[in-house]
């Protein structure tokens, strides 16, 4: 009799275990949020959570073409902040990001956006050379140049990545090496340390999860 109960208990445990696995995994939302009363299609009011979003932006890309958020609208993208003469974390970040790029190169729903924080030296022509030497061609990966104010504000306020000038640092700038995952509604859904291989692997696993949210 006890044996029987034990058997049933194990069955139940296994069942819940497998059931839990089948639940759709969802990525978290980062940044500030607030509740807002919205009206749905039928006109009934309900309270919804509104998450922090990336505002409109406009920069010059590596081909000196004005590029705006229209390039990434309706896509998920990975954003990061770097500069071409950086010898510390940037090469590692972009070495790792290259592996992500190569994996999702053929997916039209995924884009890459790298902002330079070296507003003095990294003009579009410098960015172009850098991209080519890194092995990136085409518009899937945008390297963007903008004024100090616009880029630094976007980094700290919107992407939540710390950047700054620092005359004591070896290359003159300091910044965090996060790869920030943005969804199709411009919300922050992940931040991965681009210098750590295991976190970049996690990013590679999370991209399909995020894409799956939009397939219904």
Partner 1 sequence: MRKFIIHSILICSVIAIIISCQNQETIDLQNYMSNGKDIYKAKCQNCHGENGEGLGQLAPPLTDSVFLKTNKARLACIIKNGASETLVIHDKTYQEKMPGFPELADIDVAQVMVYVTNSFGNKQGFVSYDQVSTQLQNCK
Q: Taking the CB of residue 170, how many other CB atoms lie within 10 A of it?
A: 10
- Bridge partners, 179 (sequence order): 192
- Rounded CA separation 31/191 (Å): 11
Give me the least distance between CB of 15 and partner 1, in Å please: 44
Question: Among residues 109 and 201, whose Cβ is nearest to partner 1?
Answer: 201
Give CA–CA dist 95/88, Å, rounded.
12
86 is in an annotated binding site: yes
Site mask for partner 1 (CB under 8 A), range 57-96, x = bound: ------------------------------xxxxxx-xx-
C-alpha to C-alpha distance for 208 and 211, rounded to whole angstroms: 5
11 assigned binding-site residue: no
Residue number, 94 or 187, with CB nearest to partner 1: 94
- Rounded Cα gap, residues 87 and 207, in angstroms: 28
Q: Which stretch binds partner 1 (CB under 8 A): 4-12, 20-28, 101-109, 129-137?
A: 129-137
Does position 130 interact with partner 1 (CB under 8 A)? The reply is yes
* Sequence-ordered alpha helix ranges (H) in 23-147: 90-104, 124-134
Binding mask 153-182 for partner 1 (x = CB under 8 A): -----------------x------------
**Residue among 9, 11, 15, 135 that touches partner 1 (CB under 8 A):** 135
Q: In terms of CB distance, is 157 or 170 closer to partner 1?
A: 170
What residues contact 28, with CB distance under 8 A and at least 6 apart?
189, 190
**In the complex, least distance from residue 100 CB atom to partner 1, rounded to whole angstroms:** 15
Which helix (H) or strand (E) is 2 found in, with range?
A: helix 2-22
The yes or no reply on residue 133 touching partner 1 (CB under 8 A) is yes
Q: Give phi and psi for 3, each to the nearest 5.
A: -60, -40
Binding site for partner 1 (CB under 8 A): 87-92, 94-95, 98, 130, 132-135, 170
């Amino acid at each position: 009799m006890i044996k029987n109960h034990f058997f049933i208990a194990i069955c139940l445990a296994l069942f819940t275990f497998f059931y839990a696995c089948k639940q759709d995994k969802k990525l978290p939302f980062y940044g500030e949020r607030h509740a807002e009363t919205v009206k749905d299609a039928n006109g009934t009011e309900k309270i919804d959570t509104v998450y922090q979003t990336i505002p409109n932006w406009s920069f010059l890309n590596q081909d000196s073409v004005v590029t705006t958020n229209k390039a990434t609208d309706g896509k998920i993208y990975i954003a990061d902040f770097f500069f071409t003469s950086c010898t510390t974390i940037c090469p590692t970040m972009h070495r790792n990001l290259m592996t992500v790029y190569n994996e999702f190169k053929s997916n039209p729903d995924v884009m890459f956006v790298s902002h330079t924080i070296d507003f003095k030296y990294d003009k579009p022509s410098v960015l172009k050379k850098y991209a080519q030497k890194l092995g990136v061609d085409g518009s899937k990966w945008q390297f963007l140049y903008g004024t100090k104010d616009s880029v630094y504000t976007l980094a700290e306020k919107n992407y939540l990545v710390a950047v700054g000038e620092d005359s004591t640092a070896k290359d003159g700038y300091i910044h965090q090496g996060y790869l920030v995952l943005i969804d199709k509604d411009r919300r922050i859904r992940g931040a991965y340390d681009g210098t750590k291989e295991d976190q970049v692997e996690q990013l590679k696993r999370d991209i399909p999860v995020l894409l799956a949210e939009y397939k219904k």
